[in-house]
Amino acid sequence: MAHARARSALAPWRRALAASMAVLTLLPATAQVRLPSLGETASQDLSIGTERRLGDSIMREARRDPVFLDDPVLLEYVQSLWNPLVAAARQVGNIDADTDTAFAWEAFLVRDRSVNAFALPGGFVGMHLGLIAITQTPDQLASVLAHELSHVTQRHIARSIAPQERASLLSIATLLLGIIAASRTNNVDVANATIMGGQGAAIQSQLNFSRDMEREADRVGYGLLGVAGFSPAGMAGMFDRMDIATRLNDSGGYPYLRTHPLTVDRISEARNRTLLADVKPSVPTLLHSMMQMRARVLMDTSTQGLQRLTGATSSPALGDRIAALYGGSLGASLLNDHARAERQVALALQLAATAQPREPRVERALRTLQAQVLLAAGDAAGALQSLDRIDPPDAQRPTLLLRAQAALALRSSDAAAATAALAASNEQLQVWVAEHGQDAAAWEVLAATFEARGFKLRSMRAGAEARFALGDLNGAIDRLRAAQGLSRTPAGQDFIEASVIDSRLRTISNQRRQLIAEMRGDRGPDRGDDTQRGGDRP
């Protein structure tokens, strides 16, 4: 029994080791790798396709790690800054046709209180909650995103992976250390900390850019800010905050300063660009202050951390009071102090209604929080009513997911109302995933709504798509095979859905075979379909 528990505890780390082996074999085997100059092509060191596959391999593991945070509200806000920057990079020609179609161009959140952000191969950019929490304006946060985006568009990642073999071997060695730690302590958390720390060290050893690359990312990123509609002064403001941090003993809280070291040249250039250009100042906004508070709450959900968020502030400013109430309400809800959470978000809504001019995005964010608070308190009908008060009505991701969750919860108290709400959510979610096929959370909620409405086959397929979006190909294939079996019974008669399931099973099985071939270093042709047999598992 003890051996069985040990094998079970080590299973995730063996899968992570296999993934890292896949990453290692994805890198081109060259006798000698050199670091090209800034003006030189990076394709000879790391092709665009290989870079994307490398990024996908890392993200497959990252998405299943507890520190990977899919908070719909905060992620939507970060994407509202990220998407204009990507569009600006396309507009000015920083993103060419090849990378535009090949790279993901995806920003994601990491639940970590340290101040850090990083770019990964293939167009993925990670943002620690600690960095969001210290920014004072949306322009400051956008400046960091623009800098990281520029590392991607200028192919700095490909150019900096010169010591590829050594870095990849470091990942594998650290994973082995994590397995040993798990076997000795029987504590998966210890193994997770060891593995994630080592993976971070390996990735950062690849992504420690040269000073010239840092300055180029500053220059290119600065140029994107104005085109995207942000104040370029945000970059100098962010550097000023980082400069202050370098004078403090941060006890490891500012890893961004070690992977993106500030120099006198970088700081002075940012300040000079702002002084010489006629740019608007970077000013705080109420919505950013609220999202800053949300990041502070979510980066430390310990009881002690949440209890510090009382919702009170010494500032008489209306915006500061609303932001404090926002953070206090969310913190109280996570502490299950539902009465205080409801009072504080209601008060914040009252204050927001007095703002001149009115800010629809702020009121929408508060209504969304109110729905989240009421749903956590067990008031599903109240949550739906709060979402209905959003003006103008929207079908954005946070609203869609909350509405579906509330409809599912409503079944226990009002079956008739839940039936209509579930049907509406079902339809909206299907439209959403048709355009956002990699949204695992949306697929999971869609599976639940299908299940609640009695569409078992569709629920199973949606569940499989959720596993696929998370990078769990085996889980997706298992669910699709189970759905395929159900489709052959009287209870699963749905010809169109069965055809979709057969097609998706073939596609995902083929992708898994390709991954296995890459792990083995086999670039030969496929050897037939394995949809009707067990097949090899990575």
Spatial CA neighbour of 62 closest among 251, 199, 216: 199
Q: Tokens 């978000």, residue?
A: 345
pLDDT single digits (tens) 359-409: 999 999 999 999 999 999 999 999 999 999 998 888 899 999 999 999 999
pLDDT-derived band at 275, boundaries 50, 70, 90: confident
Task: Indicate if the pLDDT at residue 299 is higher than 80.
Answer: yes
Task: Indicate if the pLDDT at residue 11 is higher than 60.
Answer: no
Task: Indicate if the pLDDT at residue 188 is higher than 50.
Answer: no
Q: How far is CA 349 from CA 10, 46, 340, 378, 466, in A?
A: 48, 51, 14, 21, 35
Distance from C-alpha of 40 to C-alpha of 209, rounded to nearest angstrom: 15
User: What is the pLDDT at residue 58?
Assistant: 78
User: What is the pLDDT at residue 40?
Assistant: 42
Task: Indicate if the pLDDT at residue 29 is higher than 50.
Answer: no
pLDDT-derived band at 185, boundaries 50, 70, 90: very low
pLDDT-derived band at 128, boundaries 50, 70, 90: very high
pLDDT single digits (tens) 433-467: 999 999 999 999 999 999 999 999 999 999 999 99
Distance from C-alpha of 215 to C-alpha of 256, rounded to nearest angstrom: 15
pLDDT-derived band at 490, boundaries 50, 70, 90: confident
Residue 414 gets the label, from left (phi > 0), alpha (psi -120 to 50) or beta, of beta
User: What is the pLDDT at residue 242?
Assistant: 77
Distance from C-alpha of 298 to C-alpha of 268, rounded to nearest angstrom: 34
Spatial neighbors of 114 by CB under 8 A, at least 6 apart, are 128, 130, 252, 253, 254, 255, 256
**CB atoms closer than 10 angstroms to residue 304:** 7
**Reported pTM:** 0.82
**C-alpha 22 chain-centroid distance:** 22
Higher pLDDT, 161 or 132: 132
Task: Indicate if the pLDDT at residue 523 is higher than 50.
Answer: no
User: What is the pLDDT at residue 259?
Assistant: 65
DSSP state of 353: T
Distance from C-alpha of 485 to C-alpha of 492, rounded to nearest angstrom: 9
Percent of the chain whose pLDDT exceeds 70: 75
Are 45 and 165 in contact, with CB atoms under 8 Å apart? no
Are 366 and 328 in contact, with CB atoms under 8 Å apart? no
Q: Just list the catalytic residues.
A: 148, 218
User: What is the pLDDT at residue 277?
Assistant: 75
Are 162 and 35 in contact, with CB atoms under 8 Å apart? yes
Spatial CA neighbour of 128 closest among 212, 182, 196: 196
pLDDT-derived band at 120, boundaries 50, 70, 90: confident
Distance from C-alpha of 157 to C-alpha of 55, rounded to nearest angstrom: 11
Higher pLDDT, 45 or 169: 45
Higher pLDDT, 158 or 149: 149
Are 212 and 38 in contact, with CB atoms under 8 Å apart? yes
Q: Tokens 């002064």, residue?
A: 233
Are 188 and 12 in contact, with CB atoms under 8 Å apart? yes
Distance from C-alpha of 109 to C-alpha of 125, rounded to nearest angstrom: 9
pLDDT-derived band at 247, boundaries 50, 70, 90: low
**CB atoms closer than 10 angstroms to residue 321:** 17
Helices (H), 115-187: 129-134, 138-153, 156-160, 164-185
Sequence spans of domains, the chain: 2-276, 299-394
- Please provide the average confidence, as pLDDT, over all residues in the chain: 81
Percent of the chain whose pLDDT exceeds 90: 58
Distance from C-alpha of 393 to C-alpha of 167, rounded to nearest angstrom: 49
SS3 content of the chain, % helix, strand, coil (to 5): 70, 5, 30
pLDDT single digits (tens) 343-360: 999 999 999 999 988 999
User: What is the pLDDT at residue 31?
Assistant: 30
Are 201 and 194 in contact, with CB atoms under 8 Å apart? no
Spatial CA neighbour of 478 closest among 407, 530, 429, 435: 530
